[in-house]
Amino acid sequence: MQTMASEFFPTRRTMIAGSIGTGLAASPLSAFAQSGPGAAPASPNAPGAAEITVDQAHTAPIPIAIPSFGPGIGDQITQVISDDLGGSGLFRVLGSAASAGGSGTPDFSSYRSIGAQALAAGNASAGGDLRVEFRLWDVLAGQQIQGTAYTTSAANWRRIAHKIADVIYQRMLGEKGYFDTRIAYVARSGPRGRQQTRLAIMDQDGANSRYLTSGRWLVLTPRFHPTRDEIAFMSYANDRPRVYLFDLASGREEVLGEFEGISFAPRFSPDGGSVVLSATRGGGSDIFRVDLASRSSTRLTSSGSIDTSPCFSPDGSQIVFNSDRGGSPQLYVMSASGGAARRISYGSGQYGSPVWSPRGDLIAFTRIGGAGFSIGVMMPDGTGERILTQGFTVESPTFCPNGRVMAYCRQSAAGAGGAGFSTSLATIDIAGFNDHALRMAGGASDPAWSPING
């Protein structure tokens, strides 16, 4: 079996085996958010007024108290909010000094005494539906920053918790949160040389993991549609490697276009109207753009080399991709309509798996050099290259929707007979701190971060 890196660092080997599986139905919240009573605007000096920057929070995480939202499901919601914020590395979750309640004014002196700058207080009540009232307070100013009530089915309690964490993140830091999102990935099980792979999806914190395909065939590189509950991925179904589209609501999947050779490495355009992918041509591969409405394809490169791993810029005007046209795998940028390409990677080693940040300011990549694998970022013109993390194998970076954090795949070295081999997912801040593994069961690779959930 090929290594996971082989698709991103082109070789002239042939690829091998994947399949289709069961579907997953997703239900939206029956009610989204309603304004809570007594909501007062934040003062100009409140933490929500963007006086606390992300850079400041890197070095001095914001101390926030989060008392329990109540017994049972309230405790569970509190824990998820605490895990989201604490796991970002930008907040320091404190023990509760007193019970704040969901609607009453808190005793701010007790929270000041433990050093809290902010307080997230609320209560959860489950009857027929789940109602969660939530308030964010500026402890120092003694003012309410946010007041919101959420009503939904009890089954959606985790989404409510993630949404509350997103609100806190945005009000305190001035950036949109990313906690109410999902990660698609390839679940891996079995011995190193005979691993079963299944397309899977989970919440961004590793919870609610579920399989989407049966594991009969090899699957690789899932990618989310920007506006629909749909995933593009590569499958070796019936021993013919091609790109498929998978509808998460219905479980239906279909082949995305017919090509003479192997089609692989799909990514959606920012508007969701097309997919850019690679397809083999003789001993090399070219990049094609496939219109999803007409299914017509346009070839964008014809260098005679291996051109692969294309990714659109957020405005859809450019594509970054990986090519060995200069003799070794490097990164190039061209117009989204094809044409001349300019090389942007000039460090030592081979570059692959480029992905454009949603902010448009950075391109992440995997690099193979003398010290092994590393993941880094550079500006779109190739300047400002920074390595964020290194390892035996680290690859497949993917940005969260606000561009602040990346998920990636880690692979450990194997001993005799494959002993000690593992492959897992981790996240890291783009500043290069807070590098930690996601809590999930089983092996995993090929992460793809979703847009914000609708």
pLDDT (tens digit per residue) in 89-134: 999 999 765 444 445 789 999 999 999 999 999 999 988 889 999 9
Residue 139 confidence (pLDDT): 95
Cα atoms in the Cβ-side hemisphere of radius 13 Å centred on 50: 4
CA 267 to chain CA centroid, nearest Å: 14
Q: What is the pLDDT of residue 156?
A: 92
Amino acid type, 382: G
Q: How confident is the model at residue 19 (pLDDT cuts 50, 70, 90)?
A: very low
The predicted structure's pLDDT at residue 345: 98
Closest to 354 in 3D by CA, of 376, 327, 384, 385 = 376
The DSSP symbol for 6 reads G
Q: Which residues have CB under 8 Å from 434's CB, separation 6+?
A: 88, 89, 427, 428
Domain locations in the chain as residue ranges: 4-26+179-449, 34-152
Shortest CA distance to 278 belongs to which of 29, 6, 7?
7
Give the mean model confidence (pLDDT) for residues 311-332: 97
Read off the amino acid at residue 98: A
Say whether pLDDT at 454 is over 70: no
Task: Specify the fold of 4-26+179-449.
Answer: Neuraminidase (2.120.10)
Rounded-to-integer distance, Cα 366 and Cα 447, Å: 14
Give the pLDDT score at 34: 38
Query: Tokens at residue 142, please?
Result: 């003694």
Return the closest-CA partner of residue 90 out of 451, 434, 376. Answer: 434
Residue 263 main-chain phi, psi, to 5 deg: -110, 140
Is the pLDDT assigned to residue 430 strictly greater than 70? yes
- DSSP three-state, residue 161: helix
Q: Quote helix, strand, coil % in the chain, to nearest 5.
A: 15, 40, 45
What whole-number distance in Å separates Cα of residue 399 and Cα of residue 408? 9
pLDDT at 26 over 60: no
Q: Find residue 387's DSSP bridge partners.
A: 376
pLDDT at 24 over 70: no
DSSP reduced 3-state for 446:
strand
* Tokens representing residue 403 in the block: 């561009």
Q: Is the pLDDT of residue 41 over 90?
A: no
The residue type of 250 is: S
Residue with tokens 């914020």: 85
- The mean pLDDT value for 175-190 works out to 96
- Give the mean pLDDT of the chain: 86
Rounded to an integer, what distance in angstroms lies between the CA atom of residue 118 and that of residue 41?
A: 15
pLDDT band at 165 (very low <50, low <70, confident <90, very high): very high
Q: Which residues pair with 16 in a beta bridge?
A: none
Class of domain 34-152: alpha beta
